[in-house]
Amino acid sequence: MTSTATLDLSLELLRQPSVTPVDHTCQNIMADRLAKIGFNIENMRFDDVDNLWARKGTESPVFCFAGHTDVVPTGNLDSWGSDPFKPEIRDGKLYGRGSADMKTALAAMVVASERFVAKHPNHKGSIAFLITSDEEGPSINGTVKVIETLEARNEKMTWCLVGEPSSTNTLGDIVKNGRRGSLNANLTVKGKQGHVAYPHLAINPIHTASKALAELCDTVWDNGNEYFPATSFQISNINAGTGATNVVPGTMNLLFNFRYSTEVTADDLKARTLEILDRHGVEYEVEWTLSGLPFLTPVGELVNAARDAIRNVTGTETELSTSGGTSDGRFIAPTGAQVLELGVLNATIHQINEHVNVAELEPLSEIYEQILENLLA
């Protein structure tokens, strides 16, 4: 298979076993390339997480490429067709952990920047890179900390393109112009342990909470809107009991999650949940964790630049979407930046034998370069 600049850099990055939060020199590889074309390199390490902030130029507007070098664990190595950190090309597909999520996008970003700067050494504004090794992990010492640092010195992005794998069937058919919010709860329902033969001497937390849980599952929280589907409520884990058949449990623990639209707030969801639990007489304790606020980038400069680039390179009319999980875009959007996610196909992310189509790597780099052309040339 013909070697290309984007493929070669992808292979170099994929050979690094950068399981979160370990970067394993990926950022140094990228930084070395960027420094050669005039980027100022700033390494930001917080606790055990390496982050890279690289910027070429000092003026506005600022276009930022954002992404992560960390990958999820490989799973059972025997199930892989090849070593996940020794990338292989088979039948036109590049296999390796991080090939789809999202090292090939990082390679495409670097190559696109190199080509754009070669053509436009005196481009307007600035180009930046915000790269973390903590996206797949707790997301505590990564992008959120870099953003805090940038905000403290009033360093703002105008546009931010996150290289998450957004495409579904063909490259660029879907771009994410927003994401739903994510609200998690750890609910402990209190009862009284006892013998199942003497239920009057016990309080079964499974029974006391069952009607409330049914109502939570059946509640319509909102109807969504033009950009977002309706808010969803999902129980992800329930645990109760001692393992014995003759013991009424004393407590029950539940984990549940809201993926919510801009039609409601986290406080709305909390209040309605507690009202249902209280109305059903449930005795409980609950701990809430807000993973991310919903964000939306309406049609404007960044969306139009991406649509135009995708159309020019692939002929595809792209579709805007806010589906899927959270991304680091949730930390960047609150700064006021327009945020968009655009990357390769997401069909195999986090899976055994993760792979990407080699033929789509150069076109992705061309799309990124065209977006730079549309905004900064």
The model's confidence at residue 326, banded by pLDDT at 50, 70 and 90, is: confident
* pLDDT per residue as tens digits for the range 6-46: 999 999 999 999 999 999 999 999 999 999 999 999 999 99
Average pLDDT of span 301-326 = 95
Q: Considering only 1-15, 94-108, 183-197, 358-372, which range has the smallest mean pLDDT?
A: 1-15
pLDDT of 253 above 70: yes
Active site residue 70: yes
Q: Which pLDDT score is estimated for 66?
A: 98
Active site residue 59: no
* pLDDT per residue as tens digits for the range 136-191: 999 999 999 999 999 999 999 999 999 999 999 999 999 999 999 999 999 999 99
Beta bridge partners of 257: 184, 234
pLDDT of 2 above 80: no
Work out the burial of residue 1: count CB atoms within 10 Å of its CB; fewer than 13 is exposed, 13-18 middle, 19 or more buried: exposed
Q: Considering only 2-11, 92-101, 197-206, 318-327, which range has the smallest mean pLDDT?
A: 318-327
Classify each residue of 307-331 as buried b or exposed e, where b means 16 or more C-beta atoms within 10 Å of its C-beta.
Answer: bbbbeebbebebebbbebebbbbbb
What are the φ and ψ backbone dihedral angles of 232, each rounded to 5 degrees? -115, 145
Of the candidates 50, 114, 134, 135, the residue annotated as catalytic is 135
Q: Which pLDDT score is estimated for 323?
A: 87
Q: Residue 297 has which token pair?
A: 């980038």
Name residue, tokens 């599952």. Answer: 217
Please report which residue ranges of the chain form alpha helices under DSSP H.
Answer: 5-14, 26-35, 104-119, 143-152, 205-218, 266-279, 301-314, 329-332, 361-376
d(CA 33, CA 93): 25
Q: Residue 328 has which token pair?
A: 């680091």
Q: Which pLDDT score is estimated for 277?
A: 98
Check if the beta carbon of residue 93 is closer than 8 Å to that of residue 356: yes
What are the φ and ψ backbone dihedral angles of 233, each rounded to 5 degrees? -120, 125
d(CA 355, CA 19): 17
Check if the beta carbon of residue 134 is closer than 8 Å to that of residue 143: yes
Global confidence as pTM: 0.89
Q: Which pLDDT score is estimated for 324?
A: 83
Q: What is the average pLDDT score of the chain?
A: 97
Q: Which pLDDT score is estimated for 1?
A: 61
Of the candidates 50, 70, 114, 366, the residue annotated as catalytic is 70
